[in-house]
Structure 1
Amino acid sequence: MSTSTDANITAYWNNASSSMNRYFSIFLFLFGTIGNILNILVLFQRELRTNSCSFLFLISSIANLIAILSGLTTRMLSGWTLDLTNTIDWLCKLRAFILFVSRNIALLSIMFAALDRWLSSSINVHRRHMSTLKNAQRAVILLLILSAIIYSPIFYCYKANLINAPLKCYGETNICRISNDLIYACCTILFPILLMSLFGIMTINNIRHVQSRINITNSNERLPISKKKKVDRQLSLMLFIQIILLALFTLPQAIQKLYSTITANQILSSAQTAFNNFIFNLVLLLTYVANGVPFYIYTLSGGTVFRNALIQLFRKLNQIHP
């Protein structure tokens, strides 16, 4: 009886995982691809791409799009047809490398955007002068190099056609899985989220400090807000909301990775394994929500700056195709 129940539970969670991968992946793919393409087109406009923070948003959107295309395409197709990355080693390694590197760049770009907002809001002139497009471009180059180095072991560790693993294309040995899980959980999720939060809090303190000084100096006088300051404020709001949602959608996977590392040597029943695989797939798909949601954040919270740029984009497209 217990064996039959265990088999039924296992089948239930396996079917749930399969259905979730098949249908939810399609929604996330469309949701994220459309959003990131629009993001890239809007942020690439001259008025925005010359701003250091907007430039980092642009890089993050490009990385998010690559992550969705490299990660969700095969996952989505695997529910309907054969996924070649599950059977061909070099495709497995290449896909995993591109996925992890792009995700790392996407999150760390937002971390650098948070750093940029802190610098630009500082009362220290030297720090404000560090908030430049050139420094943002240097940060992106550094990100590319570091991300490639950090995830280069994937070419050694990952292998296709695995059986006793959450995915058929996964780390071959326990050491590979543990090291990759820890690197991903710490370097791609926990470390950036903590620094984003820290810089966000410091930016808020800077803004409050500046506003209090303005209020004291001009208690009876209203000064007009310059266009640049208005853009900076709206970019900061966009950034803060994105940090909150990034934490919401990515931290569960970091927790799951750490949990799987701690329990790597435990012997589990087939039902427990199936349930763990379901949680693995669920939190993995949640990270794709984080990859796809920025455009909708910027549209809702970006004020007139982002929405006007979006309207201008649609007008240009309408002129091209009347």
Structure 2
Amino acid sequence: MTDSLILVAIQLICIIVPFIIIIGIIGNSINIIVLTRSALYNHSCSRYFLALAGNNLFLSSAFLINRLLITGYQLDLTKISILSCKFIQYITGVCVVISPYFIVLASIDRYCASSKNIQRRKFSNIRITRWTLISVVILIGLYYINYLVLIDLRKDDSFGCAIRGDTIYKQIYPITQVMVFAIIPPCLMGFFGGMTIYNMKHIRFLPRVAVRYRRTENQLGRMLILQVGTYIVLTLPLSIAYLILVLPNSFKTTTKFQFMYLICQLFFYLSCVTAFIL
């Protein structure tokens, strides 16, 4: 029973993840092509979706292939050397965390665009989009420099390429990761998504604009709300499971927990392709 549950989860990953990779690569590539068309490219929200599609294209290919090799075939590239350990974990860590913040930025943009306040609507423009995208990438990149320092590769335990909790800071840092990835983004998405829905219901009070442009803005708003809801549903289970693991408590991982953790990873992998499906 102990091994059978884990084997079932691994088999599911080996079967399902290749399909997610194929759909993710094709879907995000199509998204990039569609979002670079003039009808959408001139909308600030489209720039966030474009950045999200580009990042998800990387996650759907390099990241998921790496995870498939590790979980399904026990081929871990991070164990080749300390350099590959730090580099792969840093790049994948940054890219995984960036995706939800692109959605957060798009949520804020839709909130501003749908606002009755003229000054607030001015924040929804392409120039601000460029600066916010660059700023978020830089800030998250700087935050994850800790990874390059703290992560270590050891062959004398089962952790391999990972952060060991042998100092107080190394115990605290994973908890901050949970906050940065699993707590802050969903809260911001939920808040600005809810405010956007409220504004869209009162959009008749906004000054008249070009009908086609307004229709596109509304479509982007509805697409974003679906994206936010789907992302939270797919990533919340893994976030809770990871939070249980990193918090200092007496919880001991069981076979059932490991099985559920692997299944939660599958749901998380699906978040890389939801933008295309929506």
Structure 1 and Structure 2 fold alike (TM over 0.5):
yes
Q: 1:238 is aligned with what amino acid? A: M
TM-score, normalised on structure 2?
0.89
Residue 195 of structure 1 aligns with which residue? 188
Aligned pairs for 1:124-273 (under 5 A) are: 124-160=117-153, 163-165=157-159, 168-173=160-165, 178-211=171-204, 213=205, 226-262=211-247, 265-266=250-251, 268=252, 272-273=253-254
Q: Tell which deviates more after alignment, 61-70 or 73-82.
A: 73-82
Scaled by the length of structure 1, the TM-score of the pair is 0.78
Which of these residues, 276, 284, 291, is aligned with residue 272 of structure 2?
291
Write out per-residue CA displacement over residues 171-207 of structure 1, whole angstroms, 9 at most, x where no aligned residue. Answer: 2336577445423322123211111111111112222
Counterpart of 1:277 (choices 245, 255, 258) is 258
Alpha-carbon distance in 2 for matches of 1:69, 1:156: 26
Larger Rg: 1
Describe how 1:92-107 pairs up with structure 2 within 5 A.
Answer: 92-107=85-100
**SS in structure 2 opposite 1:130?**
coil
Instruction: Give the distance between the partners of 2:234 and 2:171, measured in 1 at CA.
Output: 22
Aligned counterpart, 2:101: 108
Q: 2:51 is matched by which residue type in structure 1?
A: I
Change beyond 3 A, Cα 1:229–1:39: same
Question: How far off is 1:35 after superposition?
Answer: 1.2
Q: Is the 1:181–1:257 Cα contact (8 Å) retained in structure 2?
A: no
Compared with structure 1, are the counterparts of its residues 195 and 170 closer, same or farther at alpha carbon in structure 2 (3 Å cutoff)?
Answer: same
Amino acid at match of 1:291: C
Taking the aligned partners of 1:53 and 1:90, their CA distance within structure 2 comes to 37
Query: In the alignment, is the contact (CA less than 8 A) between 2:97 and 2:181 conserved in 1?
Result: yes
What displacement does 1:265 show? 4.7
Q: Distance in 2 between matches of 1:69 and 1:194?
A: 28
- Letter matched to residue 214 of structure 2: K
Aligned length: 275
Change (3 A) 1:72 1:210: closer
> Shift of the alpha carbon at 1:29?
1.2
After TM superposition, the runs of 4+ consecutive aligned structure 1 residues lying more than 4 A away are: 174-178, 263-266
Displacement, 1:101? 1.0
Unpaired runs of 5+ residues, structure 2, are: none
Alpha-carbon distance in 2 for matches of 1:284, 1:231: 34
Structure 1: gaps of 5 or more residues: 1-8, 218-222, 298-322
- Measured on the aligned residues, the alpha-carbon RMSD in Å equals 2.4
Say if 2:52 and 2:103, in contact at 8 Å, map to a contact too: yes
1:173 maps to amino acid: G
Question: Are 2:4 and 1:15 equivalent residues in the alignment?
Answer: no
